[in-house]
């Protein structure tokens, strides 16, 4: 059996064991075994994925497993990439989840709620979820794909609802998540069913061969429907509203799995259907993808910038990064459709590399947020602070993650953003007039990517600086303690991955370039060459992340040595913060996250529409003296409040109208069934 097959077998066995494990009596054992099984699933995914990326393909069919069809699994390089990604994320989160559950405690008079879970369902569901996600990219026909997709959605819903006993908002989040994920499923179902009916077969291999013969109207319909469904899973606006609701309420290892692994499967779907099965398609498809991606990136980063809940911020950051990835995919598709394969290859490579980078740093960040939540029971940045002294490891890891997420060198986000920008700026020809659509779209895309990058820096400086640096703003933050070893190991693994991707991006770049060969309109390309310095082939451009990092480090050492030598050698004195000579500044007087984001929120007022509440309490004795002032700013998701209520109200009205059909008589309900059956039979009789 090949390595791919062995890896997938390991995944299935671990998933099977997960169901058995649920019968173990001790909650602690179950927790450890659940985490260990998730690690095994992750390991299997990594093995299978890397073998597939290095070239070995694999397929298997199981004829009696599914009704009306057969189960078919096919692994090629594109699926290998996503199997690897999901496996790597599952490996890190599996280790992390072992130490996460914490029972409710009473400490210093404060009641601290429970974290994680000891319920059998949730613990068995974690390895199952990871296994379902690993197997989705390997599906080789429509039925298998849909079954695995739905399995993934249902198990993730169970995981999102893990802590529903401790908090009531979790139930609401679960409802939104379930509704939107199934709406997406309907779109994907329609798209794939139309495709397989028109193509005459449901196996992906046969669809690939017959798809070029379909009419362009059918192809476009299939593409748009699948983009809607997969885009909703990937968190693109306006179907992103489940992300900021579900992620904060789920336990952090589940959020990490969802944000770093599951949303990538939305990308996988678009690549598989758009580039592979439909073979590329006309340009307007990909301009649509680019537009939606740019809008998602901008909207996501704006909402993240204004968010004060740490996990909500990270959820919107997922929307932002997926938006950037889809900008790359859309631009790649646009150029592939017009035959400019060099550019298409470079942009697709940038998009895929950003997916890998995003998976690495988003896992790390969510794990860090989970560590903070578990130690301080706080998600609100306005109440955090000073965690660097109390939780040094977590701070260091989150610092690495924030550096990567902000897209600055020497982080790994910078490498993929640089490649994306290079692809976009080379889109216009050196001489002659370019095509009008490209000429209008590309500068706007560059502007959108640039604004996203700039706002992203502000967002993550806010998250890291307000959350971890300076002094604690509340008692809970002051009482924080470092997290247990397994959680630290999980975070360290993700941090090491970020570091490797930042300094030596070429190893994954080689593997990722092989993915391009799966997409016929792009073909086999080697867009980037060179080991230490990344050189673009076919167009001019080069940059060296390793040399930049070495230069920064070397310059820092040199500067420190010289300054110490030239300086007076007096030791650094710790003193009180300057308070204009009068007041002693309390920690509460520090800038909060709301204050930090205020200037940018004001600039982007029209998009964010924050709501302000000012509450002034006067002294009882005199209304001229103020005892306290309370200022509250709330930024709600404007797309959700404007787009969704009318739709939901319309659905409600339909539901009310349908109630007239439901008058309580069982006989009438049964009669509906009988009449329906008779009508169908008569229709059959007439037409047969």
Partner 1 sequence: MAWPVAGVVLQVFVVVAGAPVLIALMRQVRARLEGRVGAGLSQPWRDLRKQLAKEPMAPDGSTVLFTTAPVVVLSSALLIAATAPFVSTTSPLDGMADLYAVVALLLVGSTALALAGLDTGSAFGGMGSSRTLTVAALAEPTLLVAGFALSVRVGSSNLASLVEHAQRAPSTIFSPATLLAAVALWIVVVAETGRLPVDNPATHLELTMIHEATILEYAGRDLAVVELGSAIRLVILLGLWGNLFLPWGVATTSTPGLLALGAIVFAAKVAVLGSVLAASEVLMAKWRLFRVPELLAGSFLFGVLAVSSSFFLA
Partner 2 sequence: MSSALYVQLLYLVCGGLLLSAVLMLWRRQLSAIIGLLTVQGVLLAGLAALLGTRDGGVELYAVAVGVLLLKAGVLPAVLRRVLADSGAVRETQPLVNVPASLLAAALLTLLAYAVSRPLVDLDPSPTTHAVPVGMVMVLLGFFVLVTRRRALSQVAGFLLLDNGIAATAFLVTAGVPLVVELAVSMDLLLVVLVLQVLTARLQATFGVTDIDELRELRD
Among 68, 109, 216, 573, binds partner 1 (CB under 8 A): 573
CB of 455 to partner 1, least distance (A): 5
Q: Is 541 in the site for partner 1 (CB under 8 A)?
A: yes
Among 65, 179, 450, 475, binds partner 1 (CB under 8 A): 450
Q: Which does 543 bind (CB under 5 to 8 A by kind): partner 2, partner 1, none?
A: partner 1
Q: Is 684 in the site for partner 2 (CB under 8 A)?
A: yes
CB of 680 to partner 2, least distance (A): 10
Sign of CA dihedral 548, 553, 558, 560: positive
Give the nearer residue to partner 2 in terms of CB position, either 439 or 677: 677
Residue 531 φ then ψ, to 5°: -100, -60
Residue 39 φ then ψ, to 5°: -60, -40
Q: Is 524 in the site for partner 1 (CB under 8 A)?
A: no
Q: Which does 5 bind (CB under 5 to 8 A by kind): partner 1, partner 2, none?
A: none
Among 360, 596, 608, 635, binds partner 1 (CB under 8 A): 596
Sequence-distant (6+) residues with CB within 8 A of 497 are 88, 92, 360
Residue 2 tokens read as: 């090949």
Give the nearer residue to partner 2 in terms of CB position, either 628 or 665: 665
Q: Is 678 in the site for partner 2 (CB under 8 A)?
A: yes
By C-alpha distance, which of 221, 270, 241 is closest to 181? 241
Q: Is 328 in the site for partner 1 (CB under 8 A)?
A: no
Q: Is 658 in the site for partner 2 (CB under 8 A)?
A: no
Q: Is 418 in the site for partner 1 (CB under 8 A)?
A: yes
Give the nearer residue to partner 2 in terms of CB position, either 213 or 674: 674
Among 103, 585, 589, 670, binds partner 2 (CB under 8 A): 670
Segment contacting partner 1 by CB under 8 A, of 365-373, 456-464, 484-492, 630-638? 456-464
Among 6, 27, 193, 458, binds partner 1 (CB under 8 A): 458
- Residues 330, 287: Cα–Cα separation, whole Å: 6
**CB crowding 404-442: b at 16 or more within 10 Å, else e:** bbbbbbbbbbbbbbbbbbbbbebbeeeeeeeeeebeebb
DSSP secondary structure of 178-196: HHHHHHHHHHHHHHHHHHH
Q: Is 683 in the site for partner 1 (CB under 8 A)?
A: no
CB of 421 to partner 2, least distance (A): 58
- Residues 583, 580: Cα–Cα separation, whole Å: 7
Give the nearer residue to partner 2 in terms of CB position, either 540 or 662: 662
Say if residue 75 is preceded by a cis peptide, omega within 30 of 0: no
- Site size toward partner 1 (CB under 8 A) is 88
Q: How many CA atoms lie within 13 A of 472 on its CB side?
A: 16
CB of 624 to partner 2, least distance (A): 56
Q: Is 685 in the site for partner 2 (CB under 8 A)?
A: yes
Residues 377-396 binding partner 1 (CB under 8 A) are 386, 388-389, 395
CB of 397 to partner 1, least distance (A): 15
- Only one residue has tokens 């989040």, namely 173
By C-alpha distance, which of 264, 177, 227 is closest to 256? 264
Q: Is 447 in the site for partner 1 (CB under 8 A)?
A: yes
Q: Is 6 in the site for partner 1 (CB under 8 A)?
A: no
- Residues 155, 136: Cα–Cα separation, whole Å: 13
Q: Which does 523 bind (CB under 5 to 8 A by kind): partner 2, partner 1, none?
A: none
Query: Which region holds residue 141: left if phi is over 0, alpha if psi is between -120 and 50, else beta?
Result: beta
Residue 38 tokens read as: 């998730």
Among 510, 533, 648, 650, binds partner 1 (CB under 8 A): 533
Q: Is 431 in the site for partner 2 (CB under 8 A)?
A: no
Extended beta strands in 78-201, E state: 105-107, 110-112
- The 3-class secondary structure across 380-402, one letter per residue, is EHHHCCCHHHHCHHHHHHHHHHH
Q: Which does 68 bind (CB under 5 to 8 A by kind): partner 1, partner 2, none?
A: none
CB 627 within 8 A of CB 617: yes
CB of 541 to partner 1, least distance (A): 6
Q: Is 616 in the site for partner 2 (CB under 8 A)?
A: no
CB 260 within 8 A of CB 358: yes
Among 470, 496, 500, 643, binds partner 1 (CB under 8 A): 470
Segment contacting partner 1 by CB under 8 A, of 230-238, 267-275, 365-373, 579-587? 579-587
Give the nearer residue to partner 2 in terms of CB position, either 444 or 679: 679
Q: Is 572 in the site for partner 1 (CB under 8 A)?
A: yes
CB of 444 to partner 1, least distance (A): 8
Give the nearer residue to partner 2 in terms of CB position, either 580 or 666: 666
Q: Is 100 in the site for partner 1 (CB under 8 A)?
A: no
**CB crowding 52-61: b at 16 or more within 10 Å, else e:** bbeebebeee
Q: Is 679 in the site for partner 2 (CB under 8 A)?
A: no
Q: Which does 681 bind (CB under 5 to 8 A by kind): partner 1, partner 2, none?
A: partner 2
CB of 665 to partner 2, least distance (A): 6
Q: Is 174 in the site for partner 1 (CB under 8 A)?
A: no
Among 215, 216, 568, 687, binds partner 1 (CB under 8 A): 568
Give the nearer residue to partner 2 in terms of CB position, either 566 or 686: 686
Residues 13-42 binding partner 1 (CB under 8 A) are none
Burial of 84: CB neighbours in 10 Å, binned 0-12, 13-18, 19+: buried
Q: Which does 639 bind (CB under 5 to 8 A by kind): partner 1, partner 2, none?
A: none
Residue 423 φ then ψ, to 5°: -60, -40
Among 371, 519, 666, 679, binds partner 2 (CB under 8 A): 666
Residue 639 tokens read as: 């797309």
- Residues 2, 51: Cα–Cα separation, whole Å: 9
- Residues 2, 55: Cα–Cα separation, whole Å: 12
Q: Is 548 in the site for partner 1 (CB under 8 A)?
A: yes
DSSP code for 661: G
- Residues 616, 597: Cα–Cα separation, whole Å: 23
Q: Which string of x and - marks every residue 221-240 that binds partner 1 (by CB under 8 A)?
A: --------------------
Segment contacting partner 2 by CB under 8 A, of 203-211, 236-244, 378-386, 666-674? 666-674
Residue 581 φ then ψ, to 5°: 85, -10
By C-alpha distance, which of 326, 228, 333 is closest to 283? 333
- Site size toward partner 2 (CB under 8 A) is 17
Among 465, 499, 517, 610, binds partner 1 (CB under 8 A): 465
CB 372 within 8 A of CB 394: yes
Residue 82 tokens read as: 């996503």
Q: Is 625 in the site for partner 2 (CB under 8 A)?
A: no
The helix (run of H) or strand (run of E) holding residue 611 is strand 611-618
- Residues 167, 155: Cα–Cα separation, whole Å: 20
Give the nearer residue to partner 1 in terms of CB position, either 556 or 675: 556
Q: Is 540 in the site for partner 1 (CB under 8 A)?
A: yes
Q: Is 68 in the site for partner 2 (CB under 8 A)?
A: no
Q: What is the CA radius of gyration of the chain?
A: 27
Residue 614 φ then ψ, to 5°: -115, 125
Q: How many CA atoms lie within 13 A of 148 on its CB side?
A: 24
CB 636 within 8 A of CB 611: yes
The footprint of partner 2 (CB under 8 A) covers 662-667, 670-671, 673-674, 677-678, 681-682, 684-685, 688
């Amino acid at each position: 059996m090949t390595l791919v097959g062995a890896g997938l077998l390991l995944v299935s066995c671990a998933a099977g064991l997960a169901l058995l494990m649920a019968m173990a009596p001790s909650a602690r054992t179950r927790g450890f075994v659940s985490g260990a099984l998730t690690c095994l699933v992750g390991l299997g995914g990594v093995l299978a994925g890397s073998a597939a990326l290095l070239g070995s393909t694999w397929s298997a069919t199981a004829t009696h497993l599914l009704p009306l069809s057969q189960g078919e699994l096919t692994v090629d390089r594109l699926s290998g990439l996503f199997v690897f990604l999901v496996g790597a994320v599952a490996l890190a989160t599996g280790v992390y989840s072992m130490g996460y559950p914490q029972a409710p405690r009473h400490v210093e008079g404060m009641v601290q709620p429970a974290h994680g879970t000891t319920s059998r369902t949730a613990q068995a569901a974690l390895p199952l979820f990871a296994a379902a996600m690993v197997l989705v990219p390997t599906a080789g026909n429509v039925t298998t794909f849909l079954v695995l997709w739905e399995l993934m959605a249902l198990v993730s819903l169970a995981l999102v609802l893990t802590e529903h006993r401790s908090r009531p908002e979790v139930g609401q989040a679960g409802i939104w998540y379930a509704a939107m994920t199934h709406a997406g499923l309907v779109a994907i179902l329609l798209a794939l069913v139309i495709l397989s009916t028109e193509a005459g077969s449901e196996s992906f291999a046969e669809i690939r061969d017959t798809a070029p013969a379909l009419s362009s109207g059918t192809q476009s319909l299939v593409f748009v429907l699948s983009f809607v469904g997969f885009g909703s899973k990937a968190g693109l606006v306006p179907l992103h509203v489940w992300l900021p609701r579900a992620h904060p309420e789920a336990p952090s290892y589940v959020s990490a799995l969802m944000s770093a692994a599951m949303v990538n499967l939305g990308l996988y779907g678009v690549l598989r259907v758009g580039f592979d099965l439909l073979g590329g398609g006309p340009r307007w498809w990909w301009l649509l993808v680019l537009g939606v991606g740019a809008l998602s990136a901008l909207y996501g980063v704006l909402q993240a910038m204004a968010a004060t809940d740490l996990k909500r911020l990270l959820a919107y950051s997922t929307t932002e990064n997926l938006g950037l990835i889809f900008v790359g995919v859309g631009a790649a598709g646009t150029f592939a459709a017009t035959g400019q394969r060099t550019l298409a290859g470079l942009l697709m490579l940038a998009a895929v590399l950003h997916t890998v980078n995003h998976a690495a740093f988003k896992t790390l960040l969510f794990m860090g947020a989970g560590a903070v939540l578990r130690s301080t029971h706080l998600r609100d940045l306005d109440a955090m602070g000073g965690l660097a002294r109390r939780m040094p490891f977590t701070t260091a890891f989150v610092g690495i993650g924030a550096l990567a997420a902000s897209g600055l060198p020497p982080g790994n986000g910078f490498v993929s953003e640089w490649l994306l920008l290079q692809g976009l700026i080379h889109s216009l020809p050196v001489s002659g007039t370019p095509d009008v659509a490209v000429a209008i779209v590309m500068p706007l895309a560059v502007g959108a990517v640039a604004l996203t990058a700039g706002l992203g820096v502000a967002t993550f400086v806010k998250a890291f600086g307000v959350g971890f640096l300076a002094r604690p703003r509340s008692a809970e933050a002051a009482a924080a303690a470092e997290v247990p070893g397994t959680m630290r190991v999980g975070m360290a693994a993700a941090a090491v991955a970020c570091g490797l991707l930042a300094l030596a991006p070429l190893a994954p770049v080689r593997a990722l370039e092989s993915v391009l060969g799966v997409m016929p309109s792009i073909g086999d390309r080697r867009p980037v060459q060179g080991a230490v310095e990344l050189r673009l082939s076919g167009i001019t451009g080069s940059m060296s992340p390793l040399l930049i990092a070495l230069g920064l480090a070397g310059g820092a050492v040199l500067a420190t040595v010289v300054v110490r030598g030239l300086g007076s050698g007096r030791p650094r004195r710790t003193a009180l913060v300057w308070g204009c000579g009068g007041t002693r500044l309390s920690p509460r007087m520090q800038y909060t996250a709301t204050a930090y984001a205020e200037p940018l929120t004001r600039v982007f007022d029209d998009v964010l529409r924050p709501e302000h509440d000012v509450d002034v309490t006067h002294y009882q004795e005199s209304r001229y003296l103020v005892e306290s002032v309370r200022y509250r700013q709330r930024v709600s998701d404007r797309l959700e409040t404007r787009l969704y209520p009318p739709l939901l109200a319309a659905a409600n009205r339909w539901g009310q109208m349908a109630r007239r059909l439901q008058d309580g008589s069982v006989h009438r309900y049964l009669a509906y069934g009988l009449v329906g059956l008779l009508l169908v039979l008569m229709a059959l009789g007439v037409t047969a």
